[in-house]
Amino acid sequence: MRIGDLATRTDVSVRALRYYEEQGLLASTRSGSGQRLYGDAAVNRVRLIQQLYAAGLSSRTIAELLPCVDAQVSTPESRERLVAERDRINTQIAELILARDRLDDIIDMTSRPNPQCDYV
């Protein structure tokens, strides 16, 4: 498939896909005229990349991680890295839950008609 198809299937922009390649996250073969060609596996690859981005990992970090995923092997260093990222995500989840609860409080607080303003 060509880049436009992959973009449609993954709901990621063409520019982003080229960027992923530039960052070493997504490989492609080229047609005779130089157009990028992808196999079906690229769809899941892009989804994985998106998921890792969503988790707050940088291109650089993802680039260092993907070879482990591909080879299904991790060195002590990369494992340490993976665990560190997971812990960071856990921390971030906890922060988000706190913030959400805080927002809930604010919503409750400001939604309830203020007793001091009630009349009759």
Partner DNA sequence: CTAAAACCTCACGTTGACGTCAGAGGCAAG
Partner DNA sequence: CTTGCCTCTGACGTCAACGTGAGGTTTTAG
In the complex, which residues of this chain contact DNA (CB under 7 A)?
2-5, 7, 13-16, 18-19, 23, 31-36, 53, 57-60
Report the site for its own copies in 4-43 (rule: CB under 8 A): none
**Alpha-carbon distance 69 to 97, whole Å?**
29
Residue 19 contact among DNA, its own copies, none, beta carbon within 5 to 8 Å by kind? DNA
Is 1 in contact with 37 (CB distance < 8 Å)? yes
* Burial profile 30-62: b = 16 or more Cβ within 10 angstroms, e = fewer: eeeeeebebeeebeebbebbeebeeeebebebb
Residue 107 contact among its own copies, DNA, none, beta carbon within 5 to 8 Å by kind? its own copies
**Across the chain, how many H-helices and E-strands are there?**
5, 2
Interface with its own copies (CB under 8 A): 48, 51-52, 54-55, 65, 68-69, 71-74, 78-79, 82-83, 85-86, 89-90, 92-93, 95-100, 102-104, 106-107, 109-111, 114
